[in-house]
Amino acid sequence: MNVQPDVSFINYLKGAGGDTLKKCYQCATCSVRCPLSSDEKPFPRKEMIWAGWGVKENLLADPDVFLCHNCGDCSTYCPRGAKPAETLGAIRAYAYTHYGWPAGLAKLATSAKNLPMLIGIPALLTFVFWLLSGAMGFPTKEEFATYGYTHFFGHWEFKWYAKNIFFIVLLTLPPLALALFSLYKGLTNLWKAMAAEANIASTYRPSVIQFTTQFLWPATVEIFKHNRFKECTTNTDRVRGHLPLMLAFVGLFIVTSWSLVKQDILGLIWPSLHGPLPLTDPFKILANISAIALIFGTWVLWSSRSKSESEGKTSRTFYDWFLLWMIMAVGVTGLGAQVLRWINLVEVGYITYFAHLVTVVMLFLYLPYTKLAHIAYRTTAMAFERFRESSFAKPAIEQPLKM
């Protein structure tokens, strides 16, 4: 193997949690202890070798980097304190920036020193839309009690489409569309890199239906069941936090989708559907339960991370904490805004709601570049894991690599 080390990459890893990388003396204890590693394709020892050599391209095309669930078993049992789990985390963070698009935005989301801009851009966007709506200001207590936040961006007499919904869609849809496009580009490039690294020719492509039913769907089901997470032996708290957090996102996705259908489609036929949901509405109940699950799950992960850092098992990184802060902010501002509405505190409620919109835009806008991107990258790697063992890939492996 002709090794061409990328020194700047090694330095990046050292500064992003892989500072103990050079302590590794290749004993392979980590690969033996890793509950997710297989005898045929063991990890993370090989990743530790590659990281030490600085062979960036191999690591960026390595599905095992994304198959790792960051449980920390390997770091706990490493006799040299080399923290392989941290190194893999740092490689994943690098990969999200590498595959992210546009490159400038991807780079912006990697450093704590950019925080003023990371918060400032969504805050400015929300402020500008509030200004443009012509509704900037606070309602009376009576108006607030009647309409809640459904007149935040104002109200017009055009009964087919509520002004508030129009502005919320205008504010949130472009960041979400950008994030989805960025993920599409990133995941396509990751797949190509993984296929090239595994020497799989593109001759035997599955159809969309085959890909979905044979690879993507089984991977998604496995993720939902948390089977791999449950194999962790040292940090079981992570399942207690990750599961409610994931279910909270699913719940909020259902509520948001229903809200869009109700307001944007059904509302065109029955304009009376515009307006705040009553507390007893099943979707409102689901939204509130999801918000509580979101805060609870984040809090468990937050506590687990803090404990692990204070015990010296993991390093403190912007990559980990930025996501925890962002999700906690979404949950607290969302639930807080609702409580403030119940007790009819107009000004604080409106400011909290403004902050909630900012955090939602942040979550959408930075989705492909932060730790949240693991939702898409890990699912893709798990689908690829099945693909490379399938008949679509096997005949191609024996063939010369096609470029």
> Which residue ranges make up the site for ligand SF4 (CB under 6 A)?
24-30, 34, 36-37, 43-45, 48, 68-74, 78, 80, 82, 84-85, 88
Whether 110 and 319 have beta carbons less than 8 Å apart is answered as yes
Distance between CA atoms of 180 and 42, rounded to whole angstroms?
Answer: 32
Burial class (CB in 10 A: 0-12, 13-18, 19+), 227: exposed
- Least distance from ligand SF4 to the Cβ atom of residue 23, Å: 7
Q: Which is nearer to ligand SF4, 22 or 262 (CB)?
A: 22
Q: Which is nearer to ligand SF4, 51 or 171 (CB)?
A: 51
Q: Which is nearer to ligand SF4, 88 or 326 (CB)?
A: 88
Q: Which is nearer to ligand SF4, 72 or 100 (CB)?
A: 72
- Least distance from ligand SF4 to the Cβ atom of residue 127, Å: 41
Q: Which is nearer to ligand SF4, 68 or 168 (CB)?
A: 68
Whose tokens are 């191999």? That residue is: 58
- Least distance from ligand SF4 to the Cβ atom of residue 369, Å: 21
Q: Which is nearer to ligand SF4, 24 or 171 (CB)?
A: 24
Q: Which is nearer to ligand SF4, 80 or 185 (CB)?
A: 80
Q: How far is CA 129 from CA 124, 165, 173, 354, in A?
A: 9, 12, 13, 11
Q: At what angle do helices 318-342 and 84-99 cross, to 10 degrees?
A: 70
Distance between CA atoms of 91 and 15, rounded to whole angstroms?
Answer: 11
Nearest residue to 108 (alpha-carbon basis) of 99, 97, 94: 97
Q: Which contacts qualify for 35-41: CB closer than 8 Å, 24 or more apart?
A: 35/71, 35/73, 35/228, 35/231, 35/232, 35/233, 36/67, 36/68, 36/69, 36/71, 36/228, 36/231, 37/64
- Least distance from ligand SF4 to the Cβ atom of residue 9, Å: 18
- Least distance from ligand SF4 to the Cβ atom of residue 164, Å: 44
Residue 388 is which amino acid? R
Nearest residue to 73 (alpha-carbon basis) of 16, 32, 27, 21: 32
Tokens, residue 66: 């994304």
Q: Which is nearer to ligand SF4, 49 or 178 (CB)?
A: 49
- Least distance from ligand SF4 to the Cβ atom of residue 76, Å: 8
- Least distance from ligand SF4 to the Cβ atom of residue 66, Å: 10
Q: Which is nearer to ligand SF4, 81 or 395 (CB)?
A: 81
- Least distance from ligand SF4 to the Cβ atom of residue 138, Å: 49
- Least distance from ligand SF4 to the Cβ atom of residue 64, Å: 8
Nearest residue to 150 (alpha-carbon basis) of 160, 165, 171, 138: 165
Q: Which is nearer to ligand SF4, 36 or 332 (CB)?
A: 36
- Least distance from ligand SF4 to the Cβ atom of residue 24, Å: 3
Exposure string of 115-125, with b = 16+ CB inside 10 Å and e = fewer, is eeebbebbbeb
Whether 100 and 106 have beta carbons less than 8 Å apart is answered as yes
Q: How far is CA 110 from CA 52, 90, 316, in A?
A: 22, 11, 14
Tokens, residue 184: 């599409």
- Least distance from ligand SF4 to the Cβ atom of residue 28, Å: 5
Whether 118 and 108 have beta carbons less than 8 Å apart is answered as yes
∠ CA(163), CA(168), CA(169), 5° rounding? 100
Distance between CA atoms of 54 and 275, rounded to whole angstroms?
Answer: 56
Q: Which is nearer to ligand SF4, 20 or 290 (CB)?
A: 20
